[in-house]
């Protein structure tokens, strides 16, 4: 199929379980935004974390998307087949002095790290080399170097990559990454102090989500990333990697996350039930209501194609501005 716009969106589920209502919302939101803009919608299977993947889950997710009429364009990209591309990116990061091997165990880090916005802030023990007698475990990316990488929206003129010093000429330490999320507004994160040097290749030899998602969004020429707000905390790391690797930053829109009455994200861990595919049109209507699209009630008497047709024509993402979570009662 060909599209008149350059828009390329995607849905990137991890096959660690069935599709639950929260992931359906992300699928529907990214699908509608793409189709409303006459763009392509791609599905990428993020089956990178093989120990967490469940046999049959990828196919199950794809069959569920079809049951809802959410048909994707082109081939499915499986991250489990993309190691060579991730290795290439890691070598590039090494080449510019941004990636380094780390021997620290989780316990060592937990014992000495400050708590950041997404777990412990790695204290940088291996930044200048691994102590003798210790083997390397993971690969990390430095976040303490000067602010030569800045979000496009920042006024500072980008400095060349040679400025790999702990402090830039203004005395700043590390980079503040700023993004203007289409829904959540301006988000700024000072990576060095809030996140720390983060893992791009894990101690078990698997590439980390942060690296893989950046490599694949660029490889698939994704222009718009529409996904759950639980991933907003990761986005500055992804933009930072894009800048280090010389990749284009797509537009981001983080949809509200479905949470239970305790404020926990609906997920496998919180025992969210599989999305009900028996009455797909009715479930789609619930997803549209969650996305504040106010579909006319009589639409629920129709099939999924009719519901989606209405939703594509009437899609108005601005109704979700600044909404980061929605409680799903019982």
- Interface residue list for ligand GLU (CB under 6 A): 12-14, 46, 213, 227, 231
Which lies closer to ligand GLU via its Cβ, residue 234 or residue 260? 234
Nearest to 72 by CA among 95, 45, 103: 45
| Nearest distance in Å: CB 145, ligand GLU | 25
Nearest to 25 by CA among 252, 268, 315, 284: 284
| Nearest distance in Å: CB 214, ligand GLU | 9
| Nearest distance in Å: CB 30, ligand GLU | 8
Number of H helices, E strands in the chain: 9, 14
| Nearest distance in Å: CB 12, ligand GLU | 4
Which lies closer to ligand GLU via its Cβ, residue 124 or residue 236? 236
Which lies closer to ligand GLU via its Cβ, residue 146 or residue 235? 235
| Nearest distance in Å: CB 217, ligand GLU | 8
Which lies closer to ligand GLU via its Cβ, residue 33 or residue 46? 46
* Three state DSSP letters for 98-164: CEEEECCCHHHHHHHCEEEECEEEECCCCCCCCCCCCCCCEEEECCCCCCCCCCCCCCCCCCCCCCC
Q: Are 326 and 289 in contact (CB under 8 A)?
A: no
310's CB contacts (< 8 A; 6+ apart) are 295, 296, 299
Which lies closer to ligand GLU via its Cβ, residue 44 or residue 137? 44
**Residues in the chain, overall count:** 330
């Amino acid at each position: 199929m060909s599209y008149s716009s350059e828009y390329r969106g995607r849905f990137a589920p991890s096959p660690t379980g069935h599709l639950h209502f929260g992931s359906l919302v992300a699928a529907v939101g990214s699908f509608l935004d793409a189709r409303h803009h006459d763009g392509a919608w791609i599905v990428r299977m993020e089956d990178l974390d093989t120990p967490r993947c469940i046999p049959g889950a990828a196919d199950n997710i794809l069959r569920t998307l079809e049951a809802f009429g959410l048909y994707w364009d082109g081939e499915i990209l499986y991250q489990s087949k993309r190691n060579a591309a991730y290795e290439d990116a890691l070598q590039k990061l090494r080449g510019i002095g941004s990636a380094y091997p780390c021997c620290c165990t989780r316990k060592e880090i937990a014992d000495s790290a400050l708590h950041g916005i997404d777990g412990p802030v790695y204290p940088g023990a291996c930044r200048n080399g691994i102590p003798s007698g210790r083997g390397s475990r993971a690969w990390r990316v430095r976040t303490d170097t000067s602010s030569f990488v800045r979000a496009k929206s920042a006024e500072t003129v980008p400095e060349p990559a040679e400025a790999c010093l702990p402090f830039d000429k203004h005395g700043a330490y590390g980079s503040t990454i700023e993004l203007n999320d289409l829904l959540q507004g301006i988000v700024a994160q000072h990576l060095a102090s809030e996140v720390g040097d983060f893992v791009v290749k894990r101690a078990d030899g698997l590439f980390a989500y942060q690296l893989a998602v950046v490599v694949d969004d660029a490889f698939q020429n994704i222009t718009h990333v529409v996904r759950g707000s639980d991933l907003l905390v990761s986005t500055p790391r992804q933009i930072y990697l894009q800048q280090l690797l010389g990749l284009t930053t797509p537009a981001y829109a983080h949809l509200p996350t479905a949470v239970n009455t305790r404020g926990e994200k609906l997920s496998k861990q919180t025992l969210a039930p599989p999305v009900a595919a028996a009455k797909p049109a009715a479930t789609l209507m619930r997803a549209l209501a969650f996305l504040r699209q106010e579909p006319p009630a009589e639409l629920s008497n129709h099939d999924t194609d009719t519901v989606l047709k209405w939703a594509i024509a009437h899609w108005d993402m601005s109704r979700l501005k600044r909404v980061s979570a929605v409680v799903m009662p019982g």
